[in-house]
Structure 1
Amino acid sequence: MAEVDIVRRRNDGPRFVTGSLLRHILSMTAAGAVGLMAIFIGDLANIYFLSRLGDEAIVAAVGYASSILFFSTSIGIGLAIAATSLIAPALGARRRVRARRLSVNAHMLTFLFSAVASVAIWFAIRPLLELLGATGRTLELASFYLVVLVPTLPLLSLGMTSAAVLRSVGDARRAMHVTLSGAIVNTILDLVFIVHFGWGLEGAVLSSLLARIVIMGVGFYGVISVHDLMGRPKIATLKQDAPPFCRIAGPAVLTNIAPAVGNGYITLAISAYGDAAVAAWAIIGRITPVAFGAIYALSGTVGPILGQNFGARSPSRMRDVFTLSLLTMAAFTGLAWLILALVAHPLAGLFKAGPEARDLIVFFCRWLSPLFVFLGTVFITNAVFNTLGRAHFSTLLNWGRATVGTVPFVLLGGKFYGAEGVLAGNMIGGVAFGLIAIIAGYRLIDRVGETLEL
């Protein structure tokens, strides 16, 4: 109880409006990276244990299913972004009562919207998988995987929103615990269900389901018991807060769906080259978040820090947050590229990848991974747009990236260079949009800064 009181007193004021911004960015990113990379490692362990079964159809099935899970998870991320965009400025302006009210209403709206989305996706599972190119036994396996996991989207979304509230208040450690606990549970249960009991895909599904329950529970504990940032639900205040929440959540969800749609298109394009290519794409999809987990965490850090300084009317610090975040992201990308290039062959061998899948994994690690810097730029700028009330800018940027910046490049790459061309086209198409994001981000911060100085 004493620890709880200390935490509450320490977080009475906004943390990010004073002190070194770089220190805030690095400390928040480090904690966030541990939590995110843990859950990504859990996903990687999931597919690793399944790959050891020597059945390429199972790995390909997870690849197809992951495209749809990515889509559903993106909805939860968008809802969590809306929570951060409202709660962090309220805390920065020292309006704690309002922050508590926004927190409970954000959780209620998150549950409602994610429940509706999960029902809609659940009924469309088989048509979506067929649209992505899944057939035969691979289609049946992927369908089973999704039928069980898609209904758990509300649980995962609530956990994400709780983690967003914890980041908004500056408690990066407990926000990390939300995902870290889920990852630990997922990995341990994978060992028990897949390796020990030999349940295969069924074991993977069960471990993921239980991990999502843990994520929600740990998130609620941090928000309610530690920070007392969950007000009493009231229909009247819910009606008041729903419009501003939806104004951010709608574009934010559309923004996060865009990469999922682009990912689905790439899955469709690469399915033309067989289960081996899809399996390689599934493995790459698990390697990438682990390698670049710090960048994903950094993009989640920008919103709370920028939001508190926006609420405190500090335009110069807002611009510095963006600059330092971009530089930090570039450094993280360079380090990740170096590591991937060095371990490319052993990494491919770890998953018992066949010759074709191995070549694709190595090609990505050595030659395409540095282009992730442009995707990282888009992620960080998304946080700027969402926090400063221009979520629709993020929507336009991300859908442009997912369509104009993906489809023609993937088509041309596949036509001339096969599966390798599909992967290369996807990464090359993001270069222009990364550069556009930098320019647009600075312009928006300067424009908002001018209004704050009036």
Structure 2
Amino acid sequence: MPKQAKFTQGSTLKHIVTMSFTGALGLMIMFLVDLVDMLFLSMLDEREAVAAVGFASAIMFFTISLCIAVSIAAAAMVSRAIGSGDIELAKRRAVNVLAYGILFSTVLVYLVWPNIPHILLYIGAYGRTLDLATDYLQIVMLGLPAVMIGMIGSGIMRALGDARRAMYATLVGGIVNAVLDPILIFLFRLDVQGAALASLIARFSMVAVSYYGVVHVHKMLGEFDLMDFFKDVRPISYIALPAMLTNVCTPLANVIVMEYASSYGDDVVAAVAIVGRVIPVVFGGLFALTSAVGPILGQNYGARRFDRMHNTISSAVTYSFSYTAVVCLCLFWSKEWLIVMFSASKETAEMIRFFATYISFSFLFQSLMFIAIAAFNSLGKPFNGTMLNFCRATLGTWPLIFFFTLFMDAKGVWMGQAVGSIIFGSIALVMVRRFINELESKEVNEIELKESLPYDDVA
């Protein structure tokens, strides 16, 4: 059980780095396991098997995004309670978010599972690919409540400042999946169903690790009370639902980019696909900022440490700048190696060089968006983050891509997206700075008002 709010003391930059790197490692393990899945299935010499997992993954991406949204709510609510010193409230919120997540994910499985073949058919799967994708998804989907529990558990541990154990859940899940894949696919000759079963078992291993950390190590689950649960449903939904909408905005922007890229031919689409595989791995440290910044701000907001809240934003920007500079230099130096590794054609190679030389830096501004979204989620204004990300995915993508492709052709697709990130990332940073100033001014005014009242009125 936590005796004090860890993030209200010590270097905010150190907290940002620790939380981001542990979160990034967990994300990278997930992406690498996906690549291992595809690698093993490609060894079956059955093109439909790889395509089937690709279609199924598109559906799982959306469902897992919903799990991430609820885990954001868990981290925000528990961290604020910890920061204010109310451990019992933190326990109550932890158990109620967990109940909320289990109920939500169970209903989602109930609604999606019978309609899996129809959904896959709608997004373009057919024939044997449709059959294999249905088999895969019907098995993996059963583990969605386990994913929800594992992610909420990780969110609670991040709220407590235990970044290491929060990472263990994803790490153990990835290792279990990677070990079971070849056993079930090749040794037991289960093919696509073997890959699905490996993923399902891995999801339940995440539950075991999260349960151990939250219950046995931190003793952070209070007794479930139905009336308390109904009281907390509204504040949980107030954070979780906008976070779900925010997570949907990224694939929306990706669809717009892919639609424009496809008009320039397969070589350009191949470049977008290759870069799309590289980005999650190399920029994982920036994507992890969303789960890193939130708990730190939440604890300090609960403790009313506005000075540390300002420092947290500054530290996050410093971390983003340093990380992006290193990664962009590495990408620039290794661009020719990437071209050779992916056997890129002349036009594809030209696009990869353009991204590594001119476009990769724009991820600094995307990280400013991640920081702002995390801050708004933790400080009680989640719809601000949703609005920002939606505007970036629409106004910051389609019109700018249309404009830059007029005189840059295919390269204008990435240039338009990069300029959109620069504009809305800058706006996001200004908005979150102003919002923290408003919270601080409001707190100061309330304190001055109480001090100005006679003692009897205050009592």
After TM superposition, the score normalised by the length of structure 2 is 0.85
Q: Does 1:388 align with 2:379?
A: yes
- Residue 403 of structure 1 deviates from its aligned partner by 1.9
> Equivalent residue for 1:290?
281
- What is the CA–CA distance in structure 1 between the aligned matches of 2:147 and 2:299, rounded to whole Å? 26
> Equivalent residue for 1:5?
none
Match of 1:375 among 348, 351, 366: 366
Whether the 8 Å contact between 2:239 and 2:382 is mirrored in structure 1 is yes
Secondary structure of the structure 1 residue equivalent to 2:6? coil
207-216 vs 190-199, which moves further: 190-199
Match of 1:433 among 404, 419, 424: 424
- Alpha carbons of structure 1 residues 246 and 409: separation in structure 2 relative to 1, 3 Å: same
RMSD, matched Cα = 3.2
Letter in 2 for 1:385: F
Letter in 2 for 1:100: K
Whether the 8 Å contact between 1:344 and 1:362 is mirrored in structure 2 is yes
- What is the CA–CA distance in structure 2 between the aligned matches of 1:181 and 1:442, rounded to whole Å? 37
> Equivalent residue for 1:336?
327
> Equivalent residue for 1:17?
8
Q: Does 1:211 align with 2:202?
A: yes
Match of 2:96 among 86, 105, 130: 105
84-93 vs 141-150, which moves further: 141-150
> Equivalent residue for 1:316?
307
Match of 1:235 among 218, 226, 234: 226
- What is the CA–CA distance in structure 1 between the aligned matches of 2:144 and 2:91, rounded to whole Å? 24
Secondary structure of the structure 2 residue equivalent to 1:230? coil
- Alpha carbons of structure 1 residues 451 and 43: separation in structure 2 relative to 1, 3 Å: same
Whether the 8 Å contact between 1:74 and 1:260 is mirrored in structure 2 is no
> Equivalent residue for 1:173?
164
> Equivalent residue for 1:224?
215
Whether the 8 Å contact between 1:316 and 1:449 is mirrored in structure 2 is no
Secondary structure of the structure 2 residue equivalent to 1:430? helix
Whether the 8 Å contact between 1:251 and 1:391 is mirrored in structure 2 is yes
Whether the 8 Å contact between 2:147 and 2:207 is mirrored in structure 1 is yes
After TM superposition, the score normalised by the length of structure 1 is 0.86
> Equivalent residue for 2:450?
none
145-154 vs 313-322, which moves further: 145-154
Whether the 8 Å contact between 2:142 and 2:200 is mirrored in structure 1 is no
> Equivalent residue for 2:77?
86
- What is the CA–CA distance in structure 2 between the aligned matches of 1:373 and 1:314, rounded to whole Å? 27
Whether the 8 Å contact between 2:181 and 2:194 is mirrored in structure 1 is yes
- Residue 243 of structure 1 deviates from its aligned partner by 1.2
Provide the aligned length of Structure 1 versus Structure 2: 445
Whether the 8 Å contact between 1:67 and 1:260 is mirrored in structure 2 is no
- What is the CA–CA distance in structure 1 between the aligned matches of 2:355 and 2:54, rounded to whole Å? 16
- Alpha carbons of structure 1 residues 313 and 183: separation in structure 2 relative to 1, 3 Å: same
- Alpha carbons of structure 1 residues 366 and 135: separation in structure 2 relative to 1, 3 Å: farther
Secondary structure of the structure 2 residue equivalent to 1:429? helix
- Alpha carbons of structure 1 residues 317 and 122: separation in structure 2 relative to 1, 3 Å: same
- Residue 388 of structure 1 deviates from its aligned partner by 0.7
- What is the CA–CA distance in structure 1 between the aligned matches of 2:287 and 2:441, rounded to whole Å? 30
Whether the 8 Å contact between 1:44 and 1:287 is mirrored in structure 2 is no
CA-to-aligned-CA distance 1:226-285 (integer Å, 9 cap, x gap): 110011111111111111111111212211222133334445555667888767655544
Whether the 8 Å contact between 1:315 and 1:452 is mirrored in structure 2 is no
Letter in 2 for 1:447: E
Letter in 2 for 1:313: R
Whether the 8 Å contact between 1:100 and 1:230 is mirrored in structure 2 is yes
Q: Which runs of structure 2 are paired with 1:131-280 in the superposition (5 Å)?
A: 132=123, 142-194=133-185, 201-267=192-258
- Alpha carbons of structure 1 residues 398 and 353: separation in structure 2 relative to 1, 3 Å: same
Secondary structure of the structure 1 residue equivalent to 2:8? coil
> Equivalent residue for 1:4?
none
Match of 2:87 among 51, 73, 96: 96
> Equivalent residue for 1:400?
391
- Alpha carbons of structure 1 residues 359 and 44: separation in structure 2 relative to 1, 3 Å: farther
> Equivalent residue for 2:294?
303
- Residue 346 of structure 1 deviates from its aligned partner by 3.8
Structure 2 residue ranges without an equivalent (≥5): 446-459
Q: Does 1:27 align with 2:18?
A: yes
Secondary structure of the structure 1 residue equivalent to 2:380? coil
